[in-house]
Each structure stands twice: as C-alpha cells, then as structure tokens.
C-alpha cells in the first residue's frame, strides 16, 4: 500500500494506512484473526480520519489491493461517508489459490470435517515443506512469524 500512499502524497492528498484483523502485523502482534465483514475494520478508521482537521469529509476515499480489493469493496458498501473506493485485483475466491500448494494428503483432511482439527494442528506444529508461498500463508494464518532470529 505504501506505493499508492507515496503517489497520493506526491499529488497533495492526505493518506492514512492501516492493517486490520487478520493482516500480517495485526495477526502476529495482536492475535486478531481475519474477519470477512471488513466494514467493522473500516468504520473506526473513518471515524478517526474525520477527527483530523486536514481531512475533508466530502472527499474521503479508500483503496484496496489484492485481498484488500475485495475487502475494501465490501466495506464501502456499508460506509456511506466514502466518496470513492478504488479496488485493485480484488480476490473473490481464495480456496483455489490456497489449495494449489497444499499436498494432497493434507488437502484431503479439509474434506473430512473430523480431520480439520488435525490439519490445523499439523500446520501449526511444523513448517510447510517445499512451497515458500504456502509456508508464508500458513504462518500468517497461524500467527507465527516468518522472520527468523540470527542463528536459528
């Protein structure tokens, strides 16, 4: 989001960025999991923005990129104080992206409701082998940081 923020600042706009529930820093540091009803995350941000004297309430906009492209659109549907919303590459369906890197034996556990807790335990207990993108995704989901300390 910083790239859009820098471009907006260069053009004289005010910029307020935030990470909501389930986003990487919030997930790791505050242990807040993902929510689908992103209007719950956006409303307090808009409330806060409108306390700032440099913010023109008649020209308030939001932008969402990637999964945020979906979340920002949903939030805008419930936030009448926004004048505009920009959606870039909104993700409408995450499962196929997620499941593409999951080994078939693990993926089959998700089809069986009785095995889902076992799936969660396996993912939380050890790193996902091979696919770094999948490993990062699982670590974000579980709240574990992908950052390693020197010497570990």
Residues annotated as catalytic are 66
Give the integer Cα–Cα distance in Å for 119 and 1.
32
Q: What is the DSSP letter of 124?
A: H
Contact predicate 73/85, CB 8 Å: yes
Residue 14 structure tokens = 């005010």
Coil, helix or strand at residue 130: coil
Q: Please, which contacts does 90-99 make with residues 24 or more away whose CB atoms are closer than 8 Å?
A: 90/64, 90/66, 91/66, 91/67, 94/67, 98/134, 98/137
Coil, helix or strand at residue 15: coil
């Amino acid at each position: 989001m910083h790239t859009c923020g820098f471009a907006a600042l260069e053009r004289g706009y005010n910029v307020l960025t935030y990470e909501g529930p389930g986003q990487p820093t919030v997930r790791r540091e505050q242990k807040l999991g993902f929510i689908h009803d992103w209007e719950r995350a956006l409303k307090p941000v808009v409330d806060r923005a409108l306390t700032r004297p440099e913010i023109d309430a008649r020209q308030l906009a939001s932008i969402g990129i990637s999964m945020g492209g979906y979340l920002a659109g949903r939030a805008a549907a419930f936030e009448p104080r926004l004048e505009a919303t920009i959606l870039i590459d909104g993700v409408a369906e995450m499962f196929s992206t997620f499941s593409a890197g999951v080994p078939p034996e693990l993926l089959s556990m998700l089809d069986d409701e009785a095995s889902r807790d076992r799936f969660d335990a396996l993912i939380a207990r050890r790193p996902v082998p091979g696919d770094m993108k999948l490993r990062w995704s699982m670590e974000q989901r579980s709240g574990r940081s992908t950052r390693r300390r020197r010497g570990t």
